Amino acid sequence: MVTKISEESLLDMLDAAGYGISYWAVEAVIDEEARTYTVTPEEHPTEDRAPEPIVIPFDSIIGAFWTISDPDAEVKHLSRLTQSYVNQAVVDGEDGDIDAGHIDAHAADQIIQVAAFGEVVFG
């Protein structure tokens, strides 16, 4: 049974996210020391104002992953494919870690959006 997401698996997901979020974000920065992922959107997703960088703690990204893995989770606009990939990462995990190889750019994008906004707001 998977009980955690290792630092290596998390960084693999963030690497994929860098490709996945490129249609709505102009910059994404990983700060391993601060354990944050800072994303600057091209536009604010819900308001008519200039975007500001969004600092997402690694723990929020991990929490979003586990929320998506819950079959009863009600996350607006979440794709079933993303939920399938997340669940497969859990099922195929070994040594108490997920198999991050199942998290492609699209799934990583949605994980980041859920961590940042509580729902999928782009795409």
Rounded mean pLDDT of the chain? 93
Instruction: Provide the b/e sequence for 81-102 (b: ≥16 CB within 10 Å).
Output: ebbebbebbbeebeeebbbbeb
The answer to whether residue 123 is domain-embedded is no
Other beta carbons within 10 Å of 27: 13
The answer to whether residue 111 is domain-embedded is yes
pLDDT average, residue stretch 67-82: 92
- How many Cα neighbours within 13 Å face the side chain of 78? 28
Domain containing residue 47: 7-117
Interatomic CA distance for residues 36 and 55, integer angstroms: 6
pLDDT band at 2 (very low <50, low <70, confident <90, very high): low
**Predicted confidence (pLDDT) at residue 3 exceeds the cutoff of 90:** no
The answer to whether residue 74 is domain-embedded is yes
Interatomic CA distance for residues 104 and 112, integer angstroms: 12
Q: What's the whole-model pTM score? A: 0.92
* Order of strands, sheet of 54-57, starting from the edge strand that comes earlier in the sequence: 25-31, 36-41, 54-57
The answer to whether residue 49 is domain-embedded is yes
pLDDT average, residue stretch 27-42: 96
8 A C-beta contact, residue 37 and residue 54: no
pLDDT average, residue stretch 23-48: 89
- Report which secondary-structure segment, H or E, holds 26: strand 25-31
The answer to whether residue 41 is domain-embedded is yes
The answer to whether residue 30 is domain-embedded is yes
pLDDT average, residue stretch 93-102: 94
**Predicted confidence (pLDDT) at residue 36 exceeds the cutoff of 60:** yes
The answer to whether residue 2 is domain-embedded is no
Query: Which residues does residue 91 pair with via DSSP β-bridges, in sequence order?
Result: none
